[in-house]
Amino acid sequence: MTYNFIKKYPYILKYTSKPVVTVKKGTPYEETFETYNYSIPGAKYGIDGVDGLKTGSSPEGAFNYIDTIKRGNQRMIAIITVSYTHLTLP
Query: Are the C-beta atoms of 55 and 72 separated by less than 8 Å?
Result: no
Task: Tell me the pTM.
Answer: 0.69
Query: Are the C-beta atoms of 39 and 32 separated by less than 8 Å?
Result: no
Report the C-alpha gap between 29 and 21 in whole angstroms.
14
Query: Are the C-beta atoms of 37 and 55 separated by less than 8 Å?
Result: yes
Per-residue confidence (pLDDT) for residue 85, from 0 to 100: 62
Between 70 and 88, the higher pLDDT residue:
70
Query: Are the C-beta atoms of 79 and 6 separated by less than 8 Å?
Result: no
